[in-house]
Amino acid sequence: MERKDEELRGSNNGVIGGYHKWLKVRTQGIVWLPMLKISSGEEAEVLEESEEVQALKVGHERMRVIKKKLKTVVTRVRKECDELKDVNKTTAEALEQETKRAQKEEWGRNKFRRALWGSNNKLKLQRAERD
């Protein structure tokens, strides 16, 4: 009794040999099948592109150029934005320092006014006593 796997391994008269004969007979009438096989010396026939495909390629190239220009503009705008942020930060810091200086100066003036007002009241009282 033969095992099935021995039959499948192939022999001249086995199952695989019978399949090859059947396949050869079955594919004899098919005209396009040999054209699928391209020998190493032959090159595949290049299909002509339709006008629509060519128009799409031209449009794609235009979009690529526009994208490149847009990328350049975006890069420049980002750089300008970063520079403006730096200027804004520097200006804000300077304004904060100036505000603190002005507040200290105002505090000093108010302290001096209070001292003058107190001295002026003292002088008024002294004049009132003297008169």
Confidence class of residue 5 from pLDDT cuts 50, 70 and 90? low
Give the span between the Cα atoms of 92 and 90, in whole angstroms: 5
Cβ-proximal residues to 15 (8 Å cutoff; 6+ apart), any chain? 7, 8
28-73: pLDDT as tens digits: 777 666 566 655 444 444 456 788 889 999 999 999 999 999 999 9
Q: Give the ranges where 3-130 is alpha helix by DSSP (H).
A: 4-8, 15-27, 33-36, 51-130
Residue pointed to by tokens 């904060």: 96
Give the span between the Cα atoms of 53 and 92, in whole angstroms: 56
Sequence spans of domains, the chain = 57-124
Would you say the pTM of this structure is higher than 0.75?
Answer: no
Give the span between the Cα atoms of 46 and 68, in whole angstroms: 31
49-58: pLDDT as tens digits: 788 889 999 9
Average pLDDT, the chain: 81
